[in-house]
Amino acid sequence: MEPDRGFLSDEFYNMPGLGALYSRASTYIFGDWNKCGELMGLAPYGRREQIKPLMDIAGNELQVPRWSAEFNQPYVMDSGGKWEASPSMRHWEDLAWRVQDDTEKVLLARARWLRETTGAKNLCIAGGVALNCVANGRIAREAGFENVWIQPAAGDDGIAIGCAAYGQLEVLKQPRAFVMKQSYVGKPYADRDIEDTTQKFLVRIQTTAVRSDDICRDTAKLLAEQRVIGWFQGGSEFGPRALGNRSLLADPRKAEMKDILNSRVKHRQPFRPLRRLSWRSGRKKYSKARRTRPSCSSPSPSAGNGETGFRRSFTSTERRGYRPSRRTPTRCCIGCSRSSRRSPACRC
């Protein structure tokens, strides 16, 4: 990346690479370099080819041109007015499309080059850019590898895994004994822990603790009544994507449910996508995957349309958002499901 000390670029002006450009665009659109997930979610709303390419692979090297003067509509926090009501929204959507499209093309070109150069059949991806599920889907479908693995905590938090593995294998010279087959590595909570939490004053006055003899039946009934469910089971997931142990569930048949979840529950922008839920037994109807994937960052192709499904991000530069998706869990709490408000203290 060519050095550029323009407005809002100082954090990344001397950082070459795709991730730095993505973060620069995140700063420009959201006023925060670490809103890359939001940038990926905004991309489907942009128009194709309204902004010239911001990066390219030329001679097997990444070329990133200067951050030009046409980008003169940055979001400035505390400037007054709602972000989503800004007159710059159309420009921001187009820029998000451009950055996402460039990202997919660059990553796909690099992945193909790796396969052609090495002859490898398997590909492992890590780093913050590996949290871009849409790009991961294109790599899985189009790069030609038989297997693609993306570490579920591919950002900075995943450095801990790399350091531990390096120490075990390279420093201590110990044989490999650990294979990361799932990411439910957080602390599990016993029923007594949950009971103690529900008895705390601020929780007790906002919730009603109910013990169910058929949690799936009762959850389905509440969902059909348009309640929002906070699902809690087992250990929490390592990484930024919920996989069923800490999830919000809602009935997508109500058109307004997406807005209810985004505005009243998650308190985030209205464009943010959700994920659909599929029965494991019905996977073949919706997905071409031979097996389920261990995390949302590891993609698999959907049946019939060539998109990534089941564990995919439901945003793309060419596709619209989809309904909520999580693997079907076996337990949940219904104590907080009486309204769409989420109690931050409730673990029930």
CB 194 within 8 A of CB 234: no
Mean pLDDT across the stretch 322-338?
31
pTM, rounded to two decimals: 0.76
- What pLDDT does residue 334 have? 30
Range with lowest mean pLDDT among 7-11, 22-26, 86-90, 311-315: 311-315
The answer, yes or no, to whether residue 324 has pLDDT greater than 80, is no
**pLDDT grade, residue 11 (50/70/90)?**
low
Angle at 268 between CA 204 and CA 273, to 5 degrees: 110
pLDDT value of position 193: 92
Q: Which two tokens stand for residue 137?
A: 């889907």
Residue 91 to residue 107: CA distance in whole angstroms: 24
Q: Would you state the pLDDT for residue 222? A: 94
pLDDT bracket for residue 107 (50, 70, 90): very high
What pLDDT digit, counting tens, does each position of 159-187 carry?
Answer: 888 899 999 999 999 999 888 888 888 98
The pLDDT score that the predictor gives to residue 211 is 86
How far is it, in rounded angstroms, from Cα 274 to Cα 53? 28
Amino acid 31 reads G
Over pLDDT 70: what percentage of the chain? 76
Do 307 and 265 contact (CB within 8 A), yes or no?
Answer: no
Q: Given this model, what pLDDT does residue 287 score?
A: 62
Give me the pLDDT at residue 274, please: 83
Pairing, β 300-301 against β 122-125: unpaired
CA distance 241 to 1: 30
pLDDT above 50 for 348: no
Percent of the chain with pLDDT over 90: 38
Instruction: Give the CA count within 13 Å in the CB-facing half-sphere of 1.
Output: 21
